[in-house]
Structure 1
Amino acid sequence: MTTKATIATIGQYVDQEVLIEGWLWNKRFSGKIGFLNLRDGTGFIQGVIAKQDVSEELFATAKGLTQETSVRVTGTVRAEERAASGYELNVTGVEVVAVTQDYPITPKEHGVDFLMDNRHLWIRSPRQRAVLKIRAEIIRGMRDYLDNNGFTQVDPPILTPSSAEGTTNLFEIEYVNGEPAYLSQSGQLYMEAAALALGKVYSFGPTFRAEKSKTRKHMIEFWMIEPEMAYVEHAENLQIQEAFVKHMIKWVLEHCPQELKTLERDTDALWRVVNEKFPVITYKEAVQILQEKGHDFPYGEDFGAPHETELTNHFDLPVFVEKWPADIKAFYMQPDPEDPSVVLGADLLAPEGYGEIIGGSQRIHDYELMKSRYEEHQLGESYNWYLELRQYGTVPHSGFGIGLERTIAWICGLDHVRETIMMPRLLYRLYP
């Protein structure tokens, strides 16, 4: 009986006959020999069919296959160094499951809008499959680090009574009792409560920002991993972030070599990130670097994309920018005891122009200081529970949030975050 195999495991069956269940990606025939590029979701492999080795009917069936027709193909596996997968299939049988006619995405060039309108089909392509596979492994690598370093996953609510950071870019809906509710921008505030119950925690889930931005780095719906840690202060928070990022990148390098090759990603640059220490500079030092490089950048402003790119090019590594002016950061960030005008927070900027991927800080744990921030920012009753965390067993604590899609874009070397998720939600795109 023929063994059912997947393309990912095909190397286990050299010189054996196997059955591959998948689809025809494309084909090429030259006289009495044909080449079938097959995919099954786990990878791609070339099937070779020779007219002299099969019946005329089978050869004609193979030659008549159309792009994305679903098929069951039997054949003998052989090692082939020149093949991308390292193996080829000498085809001995083809069974058509369902014929596809006029598949809309052909090998020719298509515009971005066309491909996005057909995203449900575009994800079948080698490049898009590679990105989604890497996305899955990035998530696994992140979870592996956290789960094996004493963190407990906790799931905060997606429907909230207020914003995490007091911004106005909220998706407002009417709750079942008629009150206003909002789609979560971040689970951080709830994770602080969880950290005081469980010590080290993390959340992983979708977040929503109703920003009317259409840059290559912004999405309306994106995913965040947000660790929070009791009894961890600013310096240790940075150490944990660096170890976390390095572990995640190493995981992808080890688990996705073929996908990274498909994307033509410079893996030497990623290995350098794994092996070298991340620079840490203050916001003030960052401003000085920008000014020395000719940027007319005033102290007290947030960085734009050109500034983040300049800073990472200066170091050619991910760089922490710490101790930002308190005026431009969130109300909950702990002031630096040596200079209360700045906070014990940091952004991690990814190299190669990908910008901020992590934002983190030590949180205010003093009740009186947090109460004064409430008054200053005119926070309403919906935040009362958060203030109470400073009344009942408060401790120094820190955390951070990492945006999954920006991280994927960086690791994959993509030009735009729209390719980093199955169905991107962008300023002017809610379909498919």
Structure 2
Amino acid sequence: MSETKTTSTIHEVKNHVGQSVTIGCWLNNKRKSGKIQFLQLRDGTGFIQAVVVKSEVPEEVWESATKLTQESSMYITGSVREEPRSKSGFELTVEHVEIIQITQDYPITPKEHGVDFLMDHRHLWLRAPRQRAVLVIRAEIIRAIQQFFDDRGFQLVDPPILTPSSCEGTTNLFHTKYFDEDAYLTQSGQLYMEAAAMALGKVYSFGPTFRAEKSKTRRHLIEFWMIEPEMAFVDHEESLRVQEQFISHVVQTVLNKCRAELETLGRDISKLEKIQAPFPRITYDEAVEFLQAAGHEFPWGEDFGAPHETAIAEKYEKPVFITHYPTGIKAFYMKPDPNRPEVVLCADMIAPEGYGEIIGGSQRIDDPQLMEERFKEHELSSEAYQWYMDLRKYGTVPHSGFGLGLERTVAWICGLEHVRETIPFPRLLYRLYP
């Protein structure tokens, strides 16, 4: 009777010390020293070194190991042992190699490659240790986001991706035909989430959004993911408290669960350890005064660009809220400050280290008459937005919400230079492949 083999992943070998296990994996790299081969293996869950000693294995096993090329696939069987010098803390002493495929001429070699080359081969570049680390952290951020809201009584609601109108003007929207009607790919689910909040109290959405913005900066993607909570009976102040607790929770979860991946990226973990609520707050007025004093020619009433946000963020070790922007540069649905109607009850959260705005939020207008006025000012179609007006007509309440851009958040937490590495297959101004 044949013995049943024990299968494992690289991540789980810690549970099999002293045992023989079989792992399905790929060769990441290898080196040879005389009659010993050192195989660097990966299986998606992690990396481990497997050692093949010629005097300890049959000749065919040694030959199989010799044939292996970068990204060749195999089932490898070996004994797990602890190895303090290894990053994983474990090593595999090889007993058997079953080759699945010998890869020929793998295009991404250990040498340096240009960005365009790597982006053209994004489907393969994902296998690199650095890219894997980013995607593992992204997945953990997503889990932390959902856990935060699920544990606090929020309901997940999915707004439509195809919409008949925009929440912030149609300039940067992708237009398509919806049979005989015009439609757009959503740039935000917020208006629909307001309707959901009137039914369910506290809600959040998590899905793709699209901006037809011809921007090539390191902070912009054409397709990206947004988390958009909306909360009935919640004012601007309470919303800010939720936001800072939310970001603290996400960052601390990643620190707890993904320390090895952060180290792979060379991230300065000490900077992330400081991300604990509460966060500093300054008003738009104070931000303008600061910029002018620092030598920026910045008139009151304009929106901040990347250099301005970076200059402000450099003052702080934590994210900073900039509150009370001028009414004229913010969306039509934001509630004016009752004590100063020329500014609105809103805030942008600016991440440290030059990563820019990661959250934008506000208290929403709940006065039907004021919303009517805003519609006229912004020349919005009453017909297209009648359902949105109904939210103020039938049981209006104070409510607030915000939106977090996932990819900018991933870039900040990982310490990445460009958002193109934060999503598996980025959609950029001149890139739709692969």
Please report the TM-score for the alignment, with normalisation by the length of structure 1: 0.99
Could you say what secondary structure the match of 1:375 adopts? helix
Letter in 1 for 2:288: V
Letter in 1 for 2:45: T
CA distance in 1, matches of 2:5, 2:324: 63
CA distance in 1, matches of 2:215, 2:37: 48
Aligned to 1:153: 156
Aligned to 1:336: 337
CA shift for structure 1 position 166: 1.5
Q: Is the 8 A contact 2:274 2:317 kept in 1?
A: no
Letter in 1 for 2:328: D
Task: Quote the RMSD (CA, aligned, Å).
Answer: 0.8
CA distance in 2, matches of 1:314, 1:219: 27
2:223 to 221, 224, 229: 221
CA distance in 2, matches of 1:277, 1:385: 37
**Quick one: percent identity of the two aligned structures?**
65
Could you say what secondary structure the match of 2:315 adopts? helix
Could you say what secondary structure the match of 2:38 adopts? strand
CA distance in 1, matches of 2:61, 2:149: 52
Q: How does 1:116-195 map to 2 (within 5 A)?
A: 116-176=119-179, 178-195=180-197
Aligned to 1:372: 373
User: Number of residues paired by the alignment?
Assistant: 430
Please report the TM-score for the alignment, with normalisation by the length of structure 2: 0.98
1:56 aligns with 2:56: no
CA shift for structure 1 position 64: 1.5
CA shift for structure 1 position 47: 0.4
CA distance in 2, matches of 1:316, 1:151: 30
Q: Is the 8 A contact 2:175 2:185 kept in 1?
A: yes
Aligned to 1:267: 269
2:430 to 406, 428, 431: 428
CA distance in 2, matches of 1:430, 1:243: 36
CA distance in 2, matches of 1:167, 1:399: 21
CA shift for structure 1 position 170: 0.9
1:206 to 208, 226, 229: 208
Q: How does 1:64-83 map to 2 (within 5 A)?
A: 64-83=67-86
CA distance in 1, matches of 2:303, 2:83: 53
1:393 to 392, 395, 419: 395
- Long gaps (5+) in structure 1: none
CA distance in 2, matches of 1:92, 1:301: 68
Q: Is the 8 A contact 2:271 2:317 kept in 1?
A: no
CA shift for structure 1 position 167: 3.9
1:30 aligns with 2:62: no
CA distance in 2, matches of 1:19, 1:120: 27
CA distance in 2, matches of 1:233, 1:220: 32
1:324 aligns with 2:325: yes
Runs of 4+ in 1 over 4 A off after TM superposition: none
Could you say what secondary structure the match of 1:35 adopts? strand
- Long gaps (5+) in structure 2: none
Letter in 2 for 1:171: F
Could you say what secondary structure the match of 2:393 adopts? coil
Aligned to 1:363: 364
CA shift for structure 1 position 304: 1.1
CA distance in 2, matches of 1:15, 1:257: 26
1:99 aligns with 2:102: yes
Could you say what secondary structure the match of 2:395 adopts? coil
Aligned to 1:305: 306
Aligned to 1:314: 315
